[in-house]
Amino acid sequence: MAARKRRSRKLLLRRIGLGLAGLLALSVVLVLILRWVDPPASAFMMQRWISAHFEPGDPPYIFHEWVDWAVIPGPVKLAVIAAEDQRFPGHGGFDTIEIERAWQRFRAGERLRGASTISQQTAKNLFLWSGRDPIRKGLEVWFTLLIETLWPKERILEVYLNIAQLSPNTFGVGAASWRYFDRPVMALGASDAALIAAVLPNPNIYRLETPSATVKRRAGWIRRQMAQLGGVSYLDKL
């Protein structure tokens, strides 16, 4: 009886191991495909689309329009880097400097703040769900490593710019440019780009349709950071 139980346990562990290996292999294949194939939606978009069906209001529930890398103006790309992740060209997915600073501030008594990079946010928004549970964080690390390994920096930023949430129902700079600036993304200037980047920390509170004083101040700070980074020539580092 004991020997049978041991064999059953080994068989179960083997099946679990094979299942996990299969899932890991599938995730690698999926990320590799998405290096060239534009994702039609993200996990966050799907979550929002489902939840919107249980809220008052009429369709469309999601505004999204994919725009290719070549169409997105340099100031839009630079503004997001300046606002969210200024070491994006050089890190491998995780900004150890910001992580250390966040930890030091936490030890000094401040609230623990995230230090997510553009790569981490892309992985989370594209593949995962919102929340801070350990499983999701572990998967975020895995998918971040995958996209940093299998995608060039330009592709990571292109996907992020197309799936980032910019209002409760708006995802990506393509849809945001039409909804809030009434023109295609290729016609956006540096001031528009800074406003878009300014709402990224919390698009449910910071709004593009009625920019608050806080959003305008943040947009001004982003413009200054764009200049300090050297302008759009900074994108040559990608």
Rounded to a whole number, what is the distance in angstroms from the first to the last CA of the chain? 61
64 and 145 fall within a common domain? yes
What mean pLDDT is predicted for residues 168-193? 95
**Between 81 and 97, where is the model more confident?**
81
CATH code of the domain in which 174 resides: 1.10.3810.10
Whether the Cβ atoms of residue 208 and residue 180 lie closer than 8 Å to each other:
yes
What mean pLDDT is predicted for residues 199-218? 93
4 and 92 fall within a common domain? no
**Which residues, other chains included, contact 168 with Cβ-Cβ below 8 Å and sequence gap of 6+?**
48, 203, 204
pLDDT band at 112 (very low <50, low <70, confident <90, very high): low
Whether the Cβ atoms of residue 197 and residue 221 lie closer than 8 Å to each other:
no
207 and 231 fall within a common domain? yes
12 and 81 fall within a common domain? no
The per-residue pLDDT of the chain, averaged, comes to: 89
Q: For residue 10, is pLDDT > 80? A: no
- Residues 30-60: pLDDT tens digits? 999 999 999 999 999 999 888 888 877 777 7
25 and 57 fall within a common domain? no
Q: Three-class SS of residue 228? A: helix
124 and 215 fall within a common domain? yes
Q: For residue 107, is pLDDT > 80? A: no
158 and 61 fall within a common domain? yes
Predicted local confidence at residue 71, as pLDDT: 96
Predicted local confidence at residue 113, as pLDDT: 60
Whether the Cβ atoms of residue 169 and residue 207 lie closer than 8 Å to each other:
no
Predicted local confidence at residue 59, as pLDDT: 72
CA-atom Rg of the chain in angstroms: 20
Give the Cα separation of 32 and 37 in Å (integer). Answer: 9
Give the distance from CA 35 to its chain's centroid: 15
**Which DSSP string do the residues of 182-227 spell out, in sequence order?**
SS-GGG--HHHHHHHHHTTT-TTTS-SSS--HHHHHHHHHHHHHHH
* The two three-digit tokens of residue 130, written as one number: 């919102």
Predicted local confidence at residue 56, as pLDDT: 78
Q: Residue 76 is part of which domain span?
A: 39-237
Give the distance from CA 84 to its chain's centroid: 10
The DSSP H or E segment spanning 64 is strand 63-64
Q: For residue 221, is pLDDT > 60? A: yes
What mean pLDDT is predicted for residues 139-152? 96
Lowest mean pLDDT across 10-14, 93-97, 117-121, 176-180:
10-14
Predicted local confidence at residue 1, as pLDDT: 64
The CA–CA distances, whole Å, from 204 to 7, 168, 169, 174 equal 53, 5, 9, 18
118 and 146 fall within a common domain? yes
94 and 172 fall within a common domain? yes
28 and 62 fall within a common domain? no
56 and 10 fall within a common domain? no
Count the domains in the chain.
Answer: 2
17 and 75 fall within a common domain? no
Q: For residue 80, is pLDDT > 80? A: yes
pLDDT band at 231 (very low <50, low <70, confident <90, very high): very high
Pairing of strands 170-171, 63-64: parallel
